[in-house]
Structure 1
Amino acid sequence: MGLHILGTGQCQGWMHHHDLWSVPGYNLLHYRPWAIVLPAFVLWSIVRRRAVGWTTIALLTPLLLAEPALFGYDVARWGRTCVELWYPFGTRQAFWQIYDLLPLALVLAATYRPGRNVVRTAAALALLGPLLATAGDRDRPVPLSSPEACRNAARPALRSEDVQVQAVAGMPEHERRLAYLCAMRDYNTRFPGSEPLPGSAEERSDTILLHEGRRACDDERRTAPRSARQPTLQHYVYLCPDVAAVRLQEQKRTRARAAEEYKRERAKVRAFCERQVPEAVVRPVRQYTDVLMGDLMRAYHVGEAAEGTHDGEMPDDLVVSEGGMATVTTGTEDRFCLTVRAYRHEPPPDLDGWERVVEVGFDSPDGKTEITQMGTSAGFPAVTVAGPGRYRLRLHVTGRGRPDPSWGRPAQRHLLVVYPGESEKLEVLK
């Protein structure tokens, strides 16, 4: 029987021995028993009392025998399955655990030499202890997780609302455990008949997954650093909904603070962009300034592509027009300032302060053409104020290709002047 078929009720000793590491001082003294033995020897050399040895034994016994006792319980109940879980690296790892008992054996030998009756009693207890523990363990085992078991498992979707966490908290514990395992394995994401990826949740046993979930809950309670392999909030909510509820509230507050900070920073950048806009020679019907991101496409659009057309790879040209859409390339994924001026009649060109000025034509069948990015409105009002028909787009650009002087001050600025016009040709004005 391999690790991959361990059930959630198996190897409780291995699951609980990790709890020992959270006991104050255990991790330090377990690997440094001399920190107890050496002071005890110094004290014994002064007082020459056996009580020093017995006190040392009383301190070392739970420290050094707790893990072997848990290991013995697991082996007595589950056999080789738990041996592989305790010692995945073989006998070398077991040898060092036995070696760690040497200080206790030496102190015991120096303090007391047991008689024959004591030896027999200790041997009998060593044999009967695991059997009595097994008989006393009457926990109802949780069914092994499987695609069939997970198909009918209750799994309330985790949302930001507290009511979902409350629904999870109302589930019986064995249902929450199974829901956690099913959420971790997520059988629906794997193609039928395919093998699980090495190290994935499907390859690890139920026991290991539950242990990782409990560790994540404990780390969240102690606000300790979490391992990258530990389950996320969407998973460990089933094991500790009380912890998940607290974590959700913290996430809400963090997102709210980040949103407020983003709004304040964006308002500062927008104010900077507005200060950089030159005065218009002719007052426009509509003017709007905002800050945009170049995004992955490093471009934005005036209008929308006709149905069935495909943009393909972006050209190196500053602007290209096709039918009802003009595409402007920014050459950057970072922020830039964009100002739109909409007219009902052609305004005179104003080339001062701009590095490049180019004009193209485009169609506006409905007279509601907007600025878009990745098929989504960029938040600007419609640029075609004269209704349906043909328009000219005069693009002014400066700072293209230059790095931003600071994060809040974009170097690149665009000005779009849109007015009715029949010409379709591209004109380079500067």
Structure 2
Amino acid sequence: MIVAVAGMWAAAPRTGGNLMLLSQPGFCSGFELDSSVWAILRWRTPLRYAGVFVLVLALVAHWVSLRRDREPIGRAVARVSAVAILLVHGSGALTLALEVGVDRYCRVSLHELNVLRGVWVFLSADAALALAGLCALAAVRVPRHRLRRLVGKPWIRRGAAGVAAGGLLCFLPVADLATGPVTGREACGSEEPLALRNELGFLCNARRVFASMPDHLLLAYGRRQCAAYPHMRVDISFIVPICPAAARQWDTELAAEEAEIEQREKTNQAACDRSRHRPLIRAVTVAHERMWSETGLEVFEDHTETSDDDPFLQYGLVGSTRGRMAIGVSAESQICLSVETYRRRPPVEVKAWDKVIELGYESPGGDMVIVDPMAGPGGLPNLAYSGKGHYRVRVHYREPVWAADLPQHILVMVFPGDSRRTIAHKA
């Protein structure tokens, strides 16, 4: 009994969570059993902390019963405690049998993890607990002559034979451990798997999650989820290629989403067109572009001739160093961007703008193109119309209309000037 208590205490910090390594919620029978019934018993009853308190109680009860010549009482308490420990904390073998024998997906998951390593991970934390329970049972074991007399009874032999026969009948139908061909994603070529409404499309799509499950097992699992539609236990995209009902829902939702995006694009383009700037003096170049940017807009010329300093965004809008310029934008709204170049300084316009900042920029290579650094070159022209040298840049910014989901506006004016002074016309 003392050995059993020591084993339980050593294993206490390691109990719980073994099944998570081999199975996923919503897929495996053993995981669901372990995370429901056993989890409640482990953590919300006296059986928590690997049941060490219950086993100590059994040890004390057995010792007191021996001292008072009431051995059957102590033996009964110890047996009940040990059986409870084995059921609740030593359930690894039971749940492993469920995973391997009942649910084919979990069997394949175990195979993918390497069977020996998977079984060890599955059972290692429960091994000490099961051993402790068995030690407790051994400590209060029945003398051999009584045990032989009990086992020799006819009803025990008939019951054991019935259990063995029932186990064979239950597990033989699902004992097909044969592997089969595995279709790789390369078999789909450049086709989008969800566009192939057949078994090949399903296999190619499912290989994103199940890399080595045999085709026949994977198809059986997919058809089982399709039969359960709309109460399947996987994402709808998983079964779209082989499930017509799911495919219809998928296509309907996709069409609605595309229509919504198209309508939003038209609304944003109309907002850009309505607010398009009209130069007050003759411009050399005028260009417009509608874009998204998650990191802001940037000018970055030849790195061999560009400063290593990062541009500091003055007034949260614009900053520049030699060969580099950065413009801050909101990543949650589209941008209506307009660029204009002039031969002479244009009039200052602040009406209808939230910020207007003017600063100097030195172009070492005459390649002043505003781009989204994450997207690469766009369709905007080179603003260094006179080649390399010094320019003045005036950046205008208007915030998006969040309530109407309308884009933000940026107007960049470039004109000659050697000054490096930053001027906040409106900030």
TM-score (norm 2): 0.48
What TM-score results when the alignment is normalised by the length of structure 1?
0.48
